[in-house]
Amino acid sequence: MSFFAKPESDNWHAIESVPNEVAGNIIKSVLEEAGIAVYLRPHDTPAYGGALKGNAGKSEWGDVLVPADSLPQARECLKTYFDSLETWQP
């Protein structure tokens, strides 16, 4: 699936809100590596010719969406990923 291509189906659900595009791409990569389709939906504010980005008044850059039938697998995948960050030591 392309970076910001709108999914053909409306049966996609937000699994995570992310503070910036980098965090969105990290989560996207983790899920894609597990074979899960992912769509990043930025919260663009259509003001000033698109110069203003983000969701005005909110800290989220956007949402990470997955197909409804992939939600359980995606949740488990992200839980494993976030748990690994807690136990990681340099």
Runs of H (alpha helix) within the chain? 21-33, 71-87
CATH architecture of 12-87: 2-Layer Sandwich (3.30)
- Amino acid symbol at 30: V
Q: Which of 22-26, 40-44, 47-51, 76-80 has the lowest mean pLDDT?
A: 47-51
The pTM of the whole model exceeds 0.85: no
pLDDT at 74 over 60: yes
Can you name the residues that pair with 18 across neighbouring β-strands?
62
Helices (H) and strands (E) in the chain, counts: 2, 3
